[in-house]
Every structure is written in C-alpha cells, then in structure tokens.
Amino acid sequence: MLKQHRRALAWLVALACIAGAVIALFDIETPLRPFLISLFLLVVPGAAVVGLLRDRDPLAALSVGAAASLVLNVLLAEAMLLFNAWSPRAGVATVAVLGGFMYVLRVLYRGKSMQTEQGARAR
C-alpha cells in the first residue's frame, strides 16, 4: 500500500514538473506558474542526481540531490548573467536537457550493472 502511494506521489510530482516546464517554455500565464516552475527547477536536477546515487543512504542521497539542484541552478544563472544571455526559457530548457542527460546516464549505468549481476549469477 505504501509503495502505491509513493508511486502515485512520484507521478504527481513528475506531471507537475512537466507542467512547469511547458508553462515556462510556452509563456503560459496561470496563478500556479511560480510554484510549478520553481518545482521543476528544484526537483528535476535533484531527482536526476539522486537517481545516479544508487545503493546509498536515502537521507544522504536526498541531501546531495538538493545541494546539486541548487548548485546547478545557481551556476546556470551565473553563466547566463556573465555572458549577458539571461533567458528564463533557455534556463528551463537547459535544466531539462541536463536532467534528461543524467536520466540517460542512470539508465545506462543500471543496465550495465544488471548485466554484470546476471553474468555473475551464471558463473
């Protein structure tokens, strides 16, 4: 039962993050805009980093994910200001691309570790 609630919450957060990205990219005005975009910018990089920290202490992984999310957003904002290229849309797109890249790394990493485990079992 708890696993079902966790899965439902994960889907709800994922849909809210997708909605935040769509709202930012297409400049849609809604009262939920600040909340959804902030949720996207804070959750996506953190979730991607936590996904890469497999088999770690959950509290440590969440702490590292939160810190990585803040660091990524601050560095991105600093870079956009430094190069005089401030664009909220570009920032959201960059976070989405980096989050997607880290997700692909996670899938490749887990696939490789699963093949190694299957090879070890066959011996």
Q: Which two tokens stand for residue 120?
A: 């070890």
Domain spans of the chain, in order of start: 1-29, 34-85, 87-122
Least confident stretch, 35-39, 54-58, 119-123: 119-123
Residues 77-97: what's their mean pLDDT?
Answer: 95
**What mean pLDDT is predicted for residues 29-42?**
95
Calpha distance 123→101 (Å, rounded): 34
pLDDT for the residue numbered 98: 95
pLDDT at 28: 94
The model's pTM is: 0.84
> From CA 88, how far away is CA 94, in angstroms rounded?
10
Query: What is the rounded average pLDDT of the residues 67-81?
Result: 96
